[in-house]
Structure 1
Amino acid sequence: MPRFSANISMMFDEHRFLERFAAARDAGFEAVEFMFPYAYPVASLRQAVQDSGLSISVFNLPPGDWERGERGLACDPGRGTEFRASVDTAIRYAEATGAKRLHVMAGNRGKISFGVARSTFLENLRFAADRLGEAGLEMTIEPINQRDMPGYFLSSTELAADILAELDSTNAGLQFDVYHHQIMHGDVLHSLERHMPLIRHIQIAGVPDRHEPDEGELNYPRVFQKIDALGYDGWVGCEYRPRAGTTAGLGWMGD
């Protein structure tokens, strides 16, 4: 079985956020990930991670105004200064928590032409890859499905692969979310095999309802076998919304 990381932005929400680190550890996880840590002081995050003894598998750069629907800044040509500042902010949190990987959200395209959004995204990724590389960090990009996040620029795994090929950076790779990929493309097993050289982080959830991976249209035991067979030894992030209590829903990990 792969090594699982709990996404504590979705899981363990029976607890306050800073208490979720210890809750995940007590449930048997050795790593966690989360969406955004920026509402919490750096020192508080550092202490929570140190007290839990957990590794941090990944978290996102600041997304802009999430409450107003922003989903990242990197494809918007009018937000370059803000994007660059967000990279430095994320680095501070990574250094405090010991995280080694950060996800750059592309953002919504809106009225921006595809060509401008793509070239802007690539330009910002070059900056981020260089800056994160200097800090000893790895960068990922993740295709997100259009049902959950309508208008998000990067929704195609093939587009992500093309951008990474053009970027040609040794510290940049693909964040392959099985849930998002299944909704947009299907053919998960072949896609994992095809894109494994690019993959730096994997995430999972049941399809279509984004609950535990023991229900829905995907045969996750077979997916896990494929991940192992391909030699992937990184974390697999459990980015799902528990049907009921988090701990009560963890039985699938022992199957």
Structure 2
Amino acid sequence: MPRFAANLSMMFTEHDFLERFAQARAAGFEAAEFLFPYEHPAGEIRARLDDAGLQLVLFNAPPGDPSLGERGIASLAGREEEFRDSVLRALDYAGALGCPRLHLMAGIAPAGMERERLVATFANNLLWAAERCAAQGVLPVIEPINHRDVPGYMLNTTAQAASLIEAVGRGRVGLQFDLYHAQVTEGDITRRFEALLPLIAHAQMADTPGRHEPGTGEVNWPFVFGRLDAMGYGGWIGCEYRPAGRTEDGLAWFTPWRP
């Protein structure tokens, strides 16, 4: 049966961040993910996870400077030292929180920078990060993001991500397959998912086009979830959506899959 993790950066935002862990558990979730934990001490987050009985399955490395609109720096030449510092900081949190996966964001391509240089920088940074992460039992993952939500993002398609993973080495880096981004950019999501299944370490979802909960858009989610289950995907599916209203009022989709 598909396993769903509540994304606590986007769900239960009616509550303060540290209160969302208990809310997710009360709604029936057994796992959580979030974007960036760095505003809170790792020990405080760990206490909330433990109190709620939640497993943390994914979060992001620091994205650069959010005030400048940065969405990662892993592909940006000249910022390798900053990238390495960000990975080490994230690994400190991952160790304290018992998190097995770390999303390394590629970043927005600077105007005029050749794609070949972006790809080479990203691959080299992933090689470095993969070694450090492996030493702590953490798997780095990369995620294609569509240009509608993040214009100029360097990594857009699952084929681009698969090429990078093969270059770095299967098993050293995983694919974070976001069904929402794949639907916007490429479509044919269940066949694409199945073809890439050996590379997929984590999945996420939201309905399109509004990025709200399942049942608010165009995707036949019972079919999709059933196909992922039938093809043998045993990982987590992060609920990275913006609830159309109050989070708890939009969880009818979750009822058939609640543990």
Residue number in structure 1 paired with 2:58? 58
Unaligned runs of 5+ in 1: none
Residue number in structure 2 paired with 1:103? 103
Tell me how far 1:177 sits from its aligned partner.
Answer: 0.3
The SS at the match of 2:251 is helix
Tell me how far 1:137 sits from its aligned partner.
Answer: 0.5
Residue number in structure 1 paired with 2:4? 4
Alignment size in residue pairs: 255
Residue number in structure 2 paired with 1:187? 188
Tell me how far 1:67 sits from its aligned partner.
Answer: 2.5
For the aligned residue pairs, the C-alpha RMSD in angstroms reads 0.9
| Residues 207 and 241 in structure 2, CA contact (< 8 A), matched pair in contact too | yes
**Distance in 2 between residues matched to 1:186 and 1:67, nearest whole Å:** 32
**Distance in 2 between residues matched to 1:170 and 1:234, nearest whole Å:** 15
**Distance in 2 between residues matched to 1:207 and 1:22, nearest whole Å:** 28
| Residues 101 and 140 in structure 2, CA contact (< 8 A), matched pair in contact too | yes
Deviations 1:124-178 (A, max 9, x none): 0001111000111011100000000001100111000011011114231100000
**Distance in 1 between residues matched to 2:10 and 2:247, nearest whole Å:** 9
Which is further off, 235-244 or 41-50?
Answer: 41-50
Unaligned runs of 5+ in 2: none
Does 2:158 correspond to 1:154? Answer: no
The share of aligned pairs that are identical, in percent, is 51
Residue number in structure 2 paired with 1:125? 126
The SS at the match of 2:140 is strand
Does 2:87 correspond to 1:83? Answer: no
Counterpart amino acid of 2:171?
A: T
Counterpart amino acid of 1:46?
A: R
The SS at the match of 1:105 is coil
Residue number in structure 2 paired with 1:142? 143
Tell me how far 1:197 sits from its aligned partner.
Answer: 0.7
The SS at the match of 2:147 is coil
Residue number in structure 2 paired with 1:36? 36
Moved beyond 2 Å, runs of 4+: none
The SS at the match of 1:237 is strand
The SS at the match of 1:19 is helix
Does 2:151 correspond to 1:167? Answer: no
